[in-house]
Amino acid sequence: MKKILVVVIIIIILLISSIKPKSLEKNEETRAVFISYIELNEYVKANSIEESKKNIDKMISNIKKTKFNTIILQVRSCSDAIYNSKLFPYSMYVSGTEGKYFYDVLDYFIMKCHEKDMKLYAWINPYRVRTSEDVSTIAKDNPAYKYLETDTIYINKGIYFNPAKKEVEKLIVDGVKEVIKYDVDGVLFDDYFYPSDDIDEKDYLEYLKSNKYITKEEYHLNNVNEMVKKVYSVCHKKKIKFGISPEGNIENNYNKNYADVKRWMKSDGYIDFIMPQVYYGFYNSTKDFAKVIKEWESLVTNDNIELLIALAFYKVGREDKYAKEGRDEWMLSNNIIMREIILSRNLNHYRGFALFRYDNLFDINSFTPNSINEIENMKKILNY
């Protein structure tokens, strides 16, 4: 089976190499790297502010030297902040304890990025409070704290705000207003929206008492849409781009996350760019990369919407267990990212790509046997 897969991969490489990408100037292509709360906890949390800033300097330098021009920085992962906030407590991933202030990490990142002619996008997880059910680390000044015994908070395999609540919508919008007081180049929401179908059961039944009947699924989509529209509006008042990075599986966005991606990509007033997480290889039996990016391209019917593709560098050299027959692809090949960028560049609405995430690109302890060759192959198409 592996021998057959190797032969097929070689054929695909030859076919892709024969494709001439459409013209896109170097400075027009967004080349981004995600820096998550995991990296913040690893590098930015330090014994001193001086040490922390040196680590940030090194991170930005590494990204710049690899010919990337944008950092997507997770400024709020769990109802927290890595900046001066009146709404959210300081992040425990930076200071060690939620609410314990260290320094304004966002401000420092922005200053250093702009010094190097790089852009910084503020990455926000709007509804998540915790990745586990443990409430013990939630500080009293966390807006989630006062709702812990109410249906505004949902606890099941994590802790989340209820998207149906108007106070939650206001909190998210006001939180974005705080972030865009900084000189960020854009705001990005990730793929976590509704964590469960039953998070807002009472709200839905109450809604039906005085409104025209809609399905529960439509109710979920409407709640997220209203929040997205309001965030878009506040961003546009300051001429800051707003985008969303939804799950790559389009169906899951509707039957699991309730992210109305089709509406967002055909209408005005929701987003400026879409960045689907197309975390698949070419031989994923369920969702192969080439087919999925064409599906996303077909949905962008509004020419004002830019399409960027998020790519799974974290899979390099590792088994992709959900890819079925293609589960060994990332272990057998070392130029998948390069080929995915080349193919993406031929999409009509394409404006760039982003790699998830920093550690997989720059932390040698996270490397697999394929990492270095994958990076070197990628560099060949980044104007070295």
Write out the two tokens for 95: 């200071």
In angstroms, rounded to a whole number, what is the distance separating the alpha carbons of residues 211 and 13?
55
How many residues would you count in the chain?
A: 384
Helices (H), 81-211: 92-95, 105-115, 166-179, 201-210
Give the per-residue pLDDT at 331. Answer: 98
Give the per-residue pLDDT at 384. Answer: 64
Give the per-residue pLDDT at 87. Answer: 98
The listed CATH number (3.40.50.300, 3.20.20.80, 1.10.260.40, 3.40.50.150) that belongs to domain 28-124+166-191+212-379: 3.20.20.80
Give the per-residue pLDDT at 326. Answer: 97
Identify any residues that bridge with 309 across adjacent strands, giving them in sequence order: 353
Give the per-residue pLDDT at 28. Answer: 86
Q: Tell me the residue type at 114.
A: H
- Cα–Cα distances in angstroms (integers) from residue 20 to residues 261, 282, 310, 342, in the given order: 29, 19, 21, 9
In angstroms, rounded to a whole number, what is the distance separating the alpha carbons of residues 60 and 109?
8
**Location of structure tokens 């024969």:** 18
How far does Cα 366 stand from its chain's mean position?
Answer: 20
In angstroms, rounded to a whole number, what is the distance separating the alpha carbons of residues 198 and 206?
14
Give the per-residue pLDDT at 249. Answer: 98
How far does Cα 341 stand from its chain's mean position?
Answer: 17
Query: The whole model's pTM is what?
Result: 0.93
Tell me the torsion sign for CA atoms 241, 245, 249, 252: negative
Give the per-residue pLDDT at 40. Answer: 98
In angstroms, rounded to a whole number, what is the distance separating the alpha carbons of residues 44 and 46?
6
Tens digit of each residue's pLDDT, the chain (384 residues): 444 444 444 444 444 444 434 444 545 899 999 999 999 999 999 999 999 999 999 999 999 999 999 999 999 999 999 999 999 999 999 999 999 999 999 999 999 999 999 999 999 999 999 999 999 999 999 999 999 999 999 999 999 999 999 999 999 999 999 999 999 999 999 999 999 999 999 999 999 999 999 999 999 999 999 999 999 999 999 999 999 999 999 999 999 999 999 999 999 999 999 999 999 999 999 999 999 999 999 999 999 999 999 999 999 999 999 999 999 999 999 999 999 999 999 999 999 999 999 999 999 999 999 999 999 999 999 986
Domain ranges of the chain: 28-124+166-191+212-379
Give the per-residue pLDDT at 148. Answer: 97
Q: Which residues contact 64 (CB under 8 A, 6 or more apart)?
A: 116, 118
Give the per-residue pLDDT at 383. Answer: 86
Residue 268: CB atoms within 10 Å? 9
Instruction: Spell out where 195-337 has E strands.
Output: 241-244, 273-274, 306-311
